[in-house]
């Protein structure tokens, strides 16, 4: 079970969180033309990375905040975590 550092609450066990997928996906802006390809990429197409991956988790049984977690998908090492509005440098 992973141990995730919630930037709001501190170190918590994985069972308090729910997974939210790739954090690098950007939703196309509202009221803008979007090509079929771009929309498909947004809705469906994901890279299944091996290695460092920035992903979303929601601290669902805690502060309910969505956070970003930089995790190695092969080793499960967690490098850094960010608040939802924090820039990932």
Partner 1 sequence: MTQAFRIENGGLINRDKKLSFKFNGKTYLGYEGDTLASALLANGVHLVGRSFKYHRPRGFFGAGVDEPYAVVQLFRNGETEPNIKATEQELFEGLEAKSVNCWPSVNFDIGAINNFLRIFLPAGFYYKTFMWPKSFWYRIYEPFIRKAAGLGVASTKHDKERYEHKYEYCDLLIAGSGPSGLAGAYAAAKNGAKVILAEDKPRFGGSLLTSDVNIGNQSGKDWAEGIIAELKTMPNVVVKNRSQIFGYYDHNMLVMSEKVSDHLPSTKKYHPNKRLWYIRAKEVLISSGSIERPIVFGNNDTPGVMLSSAAKEYLKVYGVLVGRKPLVFTNNDSGYETAIEFKKHGVNPVVLDSRKNPESEIIDEAKNLGINIKNSYVVVAAQGYKKVKSADIASISEDKKQLGKIENIQCDCICVSGFWTPTIHLASQSGNKTKFKEEIDAFVPGQSKQNETTLGAANGVFSLEETLKTSFTAGSELSKKITENDNKIAIPNVVEKKSSQHDKFWCVPLPKGKNYKRFLDFQNDVAVSDVEIALREGYRSIEHVKRYTTLGMATDQGKTSNLNGLQLVSEIENKVVPAVGHTTFRPPYTPVSIGAIVGREVGKHSRPTRKSPMHSWHEKNNAVFVDAGVWLRPRYYRRGNENLFEGSKREAKNVRTNVGVCDVTTLGKIDIKGPDAAELLNRVYTNAWLKLPVGKARYGVMLREDGIVMDDGTTTRISENHYHMTTTTAQAANVLSHLEYYLQLVWPELNVNVVSTTEQWAGAAIAGPKSRDLLQKLFPNSDVSNEGLPFMGYMEGDLFGVKARIYRISFSGELAYEVNVESDYGNFMWEKIIEVGKEFNIQPYGTEALSTLRIEMGHVAGSELDGRTIPFDNALEGLVSKKKDFIGKRSLQRSAFIAEDRQRIVGVVPLDKQTSIPEGSHLVKDDKAPLPNPKLGHISASCWSVEYDNPFSLAILKDGKNMIGQKLFAMSPLKNKVIPVEIVSSHYVDPKGERVRS
Q: How far apart are CB 44 and partner 1 at their closest, in Å?
A: 8
Q: Which residues bind partner 1 (CB under 8 A)?
A: 1-3, 13, 18, 20, 27-28, 30-31, 34, 39, 42-44, 56, 58, 60, 64-66, 75-76, 78, 84-85
Of 50 and 75, CB closest to partner 1: 75
Of 9 and 60, CB closest to partner 1: 60
**Residues 4, 83: Cα–Cα separation, whole Å:** 13
Choose among 38, 77, 4, 47: nearest CA to 66: 4
Choose among 52, 67, 62: nearest CA to 19: 67
Of 44 and 89, CB closest to partner 1: 44
Q: How far apart are CB 35 and partner 1 at their closest, in Å?
A: 10
Per DSSP, the residues of 27-49 read PPPTTS---HHHHHHHHT-----
């Amino acid at each position: 079970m992973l141990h995730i550092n919630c930037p709001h609450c501190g170190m918590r066990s994985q069972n308090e969180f729910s997974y939210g997928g790739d954090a690098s996906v950007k939703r196309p802006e509202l009221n803008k033309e979007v090509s079929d390809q771009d929309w498909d990429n947004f809705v469906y197409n994901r890279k299944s990375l091996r290695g460092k991956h920035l992903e979303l988790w929601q601290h669902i049984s805690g502060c309910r905040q969505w956070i970003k977690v930089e995790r190695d998908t092969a080793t499960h090492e967690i490098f850094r975590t960010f608040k939802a509005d924090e820039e990932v440098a």
